[in-house]
Amino acid sequence: MPDNSLKTKKDPAKEAWIANFFTENHLAYEAFPNEVASPEQLKFIVYLEDEPYYYPCSDKTFNSIINKQDSDSLILQYMKVWEKVEPLVNGLIEDDFKKKFLMSLLKIKFRHETASLVMLPSRVEKRLLQIFVRVSEIDRPLSHEKERKNRKIHELLATDAYRDALNQRSGLDIAPDTPLNDINFQINVLKLKRLLSLSSNIDTLMTMEKPTRDDISMLMSRDIEGEGWNWFLDLLSTWQKQEAWHYLLWHAPSAGAFLLDLEVIKLLLHFRVKVIISVKQAFYYHDITMEDIIDDPFLAEHLSEADVIARKDISKNELIDKLKSDRTIFVISDGTQEKFNPLLASVTFARAFKEADAVVIRSPRDARCIEHSHFSFTRDMLFRASGGPGSRLVLTMKPHHPKVIRFSEKDLRVKAESLIYHLQVEKGRGKTIMFYSAIVGSIPNQLETAKKILNVFVKYLREKQEGVVVINPAEHFEPGMDADDIMYMWEIVQRSGLIDIWRFQTYEDIEKAFELLGEKVPPEWVGKDATYSTGCTKEMQIAREVQKEHPEMQIIGPPWEKFQRRKEYGVGKLYDRALGDIA
């Protein structure tokens, strides 16, 4: 259970130890803003509510570190890390001097990192792996072993034995009056069950030189149980009946099993599901990495129809455009070299998580910190339960937090189309449509002031101008919306061709707003205008593009040249930070 005392700040010494924990593990956004996800980006994945922190480990591990208890358990986890790293050196380094040098260096680093008992085992592991990769200079460590596994599955999938085992009729429950739709559903579910069972027996499969149909059938017959399996079947049944496509984020397993998962993913197309496969960014034992996706010939062949998104900082608009394309399988990097860690996940992974209807975590290592922590997430998550009997595959699920508010692409589009319809009605009445772009969150700690002067100035414009409909974006904000949602929704409206005048906030506007409030312009606002806002800069780019299609639209405000200092709005936030800096 979580330590409820973390929600208070009555013990300065303990608070200092917690701060030290996040800093030493390089998980503090304030200290490492270019590496750690911002609070806004973290909210795409984790629903914190009144939680003061998120930590990427089990509650037991975190509490043992923070409360300085059960050090034996923590030391045991450290030793398990070493037991995985040491064989890499002995097995992959041929030069005797380099092997001894690297082993000595890793031991020094290991002792240093574990001495204070403040480091997470996963963070120790990542640092050791980084040293190994850097010093060994091996291109794609374990690539031969991973390709061997992928080759074996690639060859298996082409055999009659595999096809015959997968397509056996046994297990179907078909009566003379069973509808064809039900038969199709049964067939696809049975194949799904067999493939998941086979994938869970990947280690046994790898020991078989030439598995027969009976061998494969035996490995496909593993029972799948648990609330997660029943939940998943209900979900697929519901989705299959709906016209719209749904999206799964599929956090991939290791080599070999990956190609079996691809067969599962192809089956999911029958249930109107598109799948975003996430892989590791850098070497993590036998897990598939983005380099493997590009360089492994067997992966390349099986993913020839997939859209491989190499960028770690894709925008919401770009991601949605890809998801709405004819492609059905997408591959992204989670941005990490360790177990599931939302604090260090890439922007692309965070946005994919946010756009997904559900998430499948295939690696048991990735699932442990989800299963054994109290944190809630923004999407339903399916994963393999740990500790199940060997003869059974137990799937469990973690439901999303009930207070999560989700604005899907469809929701945002509906809101935008509703606004467009309203503007069409107003234009039909002879009204002029003005869109007003202004600073909202670009000045730190001035969000409420920004909204106040925006509202008072728009009110002034409405009273001053006859027959003009002034759109104030702040009036259409709803709880649960982040900057990604807002910018996506407004771009649909902005590109509708209905705007007659696009006005950008000037310093004169700001002065007038404070005058209307009976206040002097505070220092934070002196000299500011729309060019100070990244959101306004993006909107000026859109306005210039719209004006090319609709030359009659006027653009009022600072000249384009003054907007050049801003490039991209922050992930899920309204103040300025280049996406590349957050990735």
362 φ, ψ to 5°? -90, -30
Check whether residue 164 and residue 301 sit in a common domain. yes
**Consecutive H or E run containing 310:** none
Whole-angstrom Cα distance, residue 2 to residue 295? 43
pLDDT number for residue 580: 35
9 pLDDT band, cuts 50/70/90, is low
Check whether residue 287 and residue 423 sit in a common domain. no
391 pLDDT band, cuts 50/70/90, is low
Between β-strands 46-47 and 376-377, what pairing exists: parallel, antiparallel or unpaired?
Answer: antiparallel
Whole-angstrom Cα distance, residue 320 to residue 309? 13
pLDDT number for residue 455: 94
Whole-angstrom Cα distance, residue 335 to residue 226? 31
pLDDT number for residue 482: 82
Cβ contacts of 225 within 8 Å, gap of 6 or more: 392, 393, 394, 395
Check whether residue 547 and residue 502 sit in a common domain. yes
Is 458 contained in some domain? yes
Is 404 contained in some domain? no
**Consecutive H or E run containing 395:** strand 392-398
**Do residues 457 and 509 make contact, with C-beta atoms less than 8 angstroms apart?**
yes
581 pLDDT band, cuts 50/70/90, is very low
pLDDT in tens, 276-314: 999 999 999 999 999 999 999 999 999 999 999 999 999
Check whether residue 95 and residue 26 sit in a common domain. yes
70 pLDDT band, cuts 50/70/90, is confident
pLDDT number for residue 476: 84
Q: Tell me the average pLDDT of the chain.
A: 91
**Do residues 129 and 337 make contact, with C-beta atoms less than 8 angstroms apart?**
yes
More confident residue, 416 or 4: 416
Check whether residue 29 and residue 156 sit in a common domain. no
Encoded tokens for 406:
């989700």
Is 45 contained in some domain? no
Is 269 contained in some domain? yes
Check whether residue 191 and residue 58 sit in a common domain. no
Q: Which domain holds residue 573?
A: 409-582
574 pLDDT band, cuts 50/70/90, is very low
Residue 93 has pLDDT above 50, yes or no: yes
pLDDT number for residue 446: 84
More confident residue, 583 or 344: 344
Is 578 contained in some domain? yes
Is 46 contained in some domain? no
Burial class of residue 165 in the structure, from the number of CB atoms within 10 Å of its CB (0-12 exposed, 13-18 middle, 19+ buried)? buried
Check whether residue 320 and residue 305 sit in a common domain. yes
Check whether residue 100 and residue 221 sit in a common domain. no
464 φ, ψ to 5°? -85, -30
Q: Within its chain, how far is the Cα of 468 from the centroid?
A: 42
Is 47 contained in some domain? no
Whole-angstrom Cα distance, residue 561 to residue 531? 9
Type of residue numbered 56: P
Report pTM.
0.86
pLDDT in tens, 158-212: 999 999 999 998 888 888 888 888 888 999 999 999 999 999 899 999 999 999 9
Q: Could you say which of 136, 158, 175 is where a domain stops?
A: 136
Whole-angstrom Cα distance, residue 130 to residue 127? 5
Which range, of 126-135, 211-220, 439-448, averages the lowest pLDDT?
A: 439-448
Check whether residue 337 and residue 440 sit in a common domain. no
Q: Within its chain, how far is the Cα of 433 from the centroid?
A: 37
Strands (E), 126-177: none
Residue 3 has pLDDT above 70, yes or no: no
Q: Return the residue matching tokens 């989800």.
A: 370
446 φ, ψ to 5°? -125, 20
Average pLDDT over residues 202-230: 93
Residue 577 has pLDDT above 50, yes or no: no
pLDDT number for residue 441: 72
Whole-angstrom Cα distance, residue 351 to residue 304? 24
pLDDT number for residue 578: 37
Encoded tokens for 381:
């998550």
Is 526 contained in some domain? yes
Residue 494 has pLDDT above 90, yes or no: yes
Check whether residue 418 and residue 391 sit in a common domain. no
Cβ contacts of 84 within 8 Å, gap of 6 or more: 125, 285
pLDDT number for residue 410: 87
Q: Could you say which of 103, 136, 169 is where a domain stops?
A: 136
pLDDT in tens, 401-410: 999 988 888 8
535 pLDDT band, cuts 50/70/90, is confident
Inter-axis angle of helices 483-494 and 316-323, nearest 10: 70
Q: Could you say which of 91, 121, 136 is where a domain stops?
A: 136
**Do residues 313 and 579 make contact, with C-beta atoms less than 8 angstroms apart?**
yes
The tally of domains found in the chain comes to 3
Whole-angstrom Cα distance, residue 61 to residue 453? 48
**Do residues 135 and 105 make contact, with C-beta atoms less than 8 angstroms apart?**
yes
Check whether residue 416 and residue 564 sit in a common domain. yes
Check whether residue 424 and residue 558 sit in a common domain. yes
Inter-axis angle of helices 483-494 and 534-549, nearest 10: 20
